[in-house]
């Protein structure tokens, strides 16, 4: 009897247990986000899932939960830290509890266009910000574009004073709150998933978002006017939890990073196109009037929001603000 136990034990001990488990059980990465599948981020998540399945099938499995079905804005970052989800791509506005530096992306009228944002993200200062939350266990893997934000309301906003007295749904961000305060408007932070109902019920009368987010959440159907302000950027940081990430075997992690680079390239090239297509769809619906701004009108908005820069530059860091301003000058490339 004892001999039999010893034989079984010897057999068990000689098995490369770690390997057997690692080989057999795929690593599951749960990717949760708050937007629809047919948006730049939604498409990026699905492409990541597909490429991982093709190249690392059997080793890594990606589960995608769109539209706040697993976690929403209010709890997704906590869930990431608690290891309840492995990948998120929150808008850069949503990290201000974790680092003040990323508020750079919310400063109104800082970046001329998405090209300028792209240049900033690729340069040293921009890349450095991917590591700005490592002390909180959050690792930035890539920047993904959505696009430039437009301002919508139940009345046409031509001049900054037109926003006075209205309530706007915003992403929870100190800079965005200050931006609307500067216009004499009220900012109401709320999760993305609640924006449609709040606009429909009249709890808020306006909002700001990209064409693809406005269209995919049908926000345009409850907003009679959208002013083409292009006043700020709504981009994402693909993030993971450092414990989860560094527990993945090095070789697999390197392959995942290569896939992420490929997906990032695709998302960042397709985002602007998607936004322009959705702008066109909103316009063609005939239900929402698009309000263009002349260069002089746009300058008036820009000037009205300058105090927000002064308020937030000290906490963001003057060096970061300067590095971002430089990218607008195309000739400096």
Interface with ligand LMR by CB under 6 A: which residues? Answer: 34-35, 91, 146, 171, 192, 209, 213, 234
DSSP letter (8 states) at residue 74: T
d(CA 102, CA 92): 6
In terms of Cα–Cα distance, which of 190, 187, 193 is closest to 217? 193
Whole-angstrom CA distances from 100 to 282, 316, 322 are 34, 6, 16
**Residue closer to ligand LMR (CB basis): 35 or 323:** 35
Cβ distance to ligand LMR smaller for residue 34 or 130: 34
Nearest CB to ligand LMR, comparing residues 59 and 207 = 207
Of 169 and 186, which has the nearer Cβ to ligand LMR? 169
Nearest distance from residue 236's CB to ligand LMR, in Å?
7
In the bound complex, what is the minimum distance in angstroms from residue 173's beta carbon to ligand LMR?
9
Q: Give min distance, CB of 102 to ligand LMR, in A.
A: 13
Q: Are strands 150-153 and 206-209 parallel, antiparallel or unpaired?
A: antiparallel
Residue placing its CB nearer to ligand LMR in the complex, 27 or 170:
170
Question: Which H, E and C letters describe 138-199, residue by residue?
Answer: EEEEEEEEEEECEEEECCCCCCHHHHCCCEEEECCCHHHHHHHHHCCCEEEECCHHHHHHHH
> Which residue(s) pair with 139 in the sheet?
240
Residue 129 C-beta: closest distance to ligand LMR, Å: 17
The residue of the chain with the least Cβ separation from ligand LMR equals 91
Nearer to ligand LMR, 118 or 171 (CB): 171
What radius of gyration, in Å, describes the C-alpha atoms of the chain?
23
Residue 26 DSSP symbol: P
Q: Could you tell me the smallest distance in angstroms from the CB atom of residue 235 to ligand LMR?
A: 9
To ligand LMR, the closest distance from the beta carbon of 283 in angstroms equals 21
């Amino acid at each position: 009897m004892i001999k039999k136990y010893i034989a079984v034990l010897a057999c068990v001990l000689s098995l490369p247990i770690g390997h057997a488990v690692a080989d057999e059980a795929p690593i599951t990465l749960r990717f949760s986000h708050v937007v629809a599948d047919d948006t730049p981020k939604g498409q990026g998540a699905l492409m990541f899932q597909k490429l991982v399945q093709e190249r690392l099938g059997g080793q890594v499995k990606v589960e995608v939960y769109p539209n706040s079905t697993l976690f929403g804005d209010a709890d997704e970052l906590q869930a990431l830290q608690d290891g309840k989800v492995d990948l998120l791509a929150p808008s850069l506005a949503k990290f201000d509890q974790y680092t003040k530096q990323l508020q750079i992306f919310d400063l109104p009228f800082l970046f001329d266009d998405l090209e300028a944002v792209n240049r900033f993200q690729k340069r040293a200062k921009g890349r450095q910000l991917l590591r700005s939350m490592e002390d909180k266990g959050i690792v930035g893997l890539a920047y993904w574009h959505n696009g430039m934000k437009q301002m919508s309301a139940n009345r046409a906003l031509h001049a900054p004073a037109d926003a006075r007295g209205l309530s706007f749904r915003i992403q929870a961000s100190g800079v965005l709150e200050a931006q609307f305060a500067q216009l004499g408007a009220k900012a109401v932070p709320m999760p993305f998933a609640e924006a449609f109902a709040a606009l429909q019920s009249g709890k808020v009368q306006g909002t700001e978002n990209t064409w693809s987010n406005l269209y995919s959440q049908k926000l345009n159907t409850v907003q009679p006017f959208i002013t083409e302000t292009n006043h700020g950027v709504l981009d994402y940081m693909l993030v993971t939890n450092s414990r989860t990430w560094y527990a993945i075997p090095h070789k697999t992690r390197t392959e995942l990073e290569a896939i992420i680079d490929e997906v990032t390239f695709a998302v960042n090239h397709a985002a602007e196109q998607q936004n322009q297509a959705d702008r066109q769809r909103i316009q063609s619906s005939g239900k929402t009037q698009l309000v263009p701004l002349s260069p002089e009108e746009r300058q008036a908005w820009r000037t009205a929001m300058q105090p927000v820069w002064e308020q937030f530059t000290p906490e963001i860091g003057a060096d970061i603000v300067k590095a971002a301003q430089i990218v607008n000058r195309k000739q400096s490339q």
